[in-house]
Amino acid sequence: MGRLHDKAAWHRRARRQLQYEPLCAVCLSEGTIVAARIADHVEPHHDDPIKFWNGKLQSLCAHCHESRKKRSEHRGLDNVIRSRWLADRSQSPGV
């Protein structure tokens, strides 16, 4: 984790995200209910503080974060997750 993730403000923001959306967004979009454990940036921030602090978040389980999300980012397929997230997000108010 980078320096930005070590800040208390990030931990508060991540905790709020998980309280607001306690289920994994990817699993939920596939019809499975799994508790989320990680607040994840929808779009990679690449250590840009503006994107890090202001970027949209999604709640993910550890499996989705470590496998699907990272694999899709490396392959440039994060648009699939982002489009699912945006479709789901349009149904509820923002965080």
Q: Give the residue extent of every domain in the chain.
A: 3-89
Retrieve residue 7's tokens.
Answer: 């800040």
Question: Nearest Cα to 41, choosing from 59, 24, 25?
Answer: 59
Question: Dihedral sign, CA of 36, 39, 41, 45?
Answer: negative
2-35 pLDDT, tens digit each = 576 668 999 999 999 999 999 999 999 999 999 9
Cβ neighbours of residue 86 closer than 8 Å, sequence gap 6 or more: 42
Number of residues that make up the chain: 95
pTM of the model: 0.67
For residue 35, list its beta bridge partners.
Answer: 23
Retrieve residue 84's tokens.
Answer: 């699912």
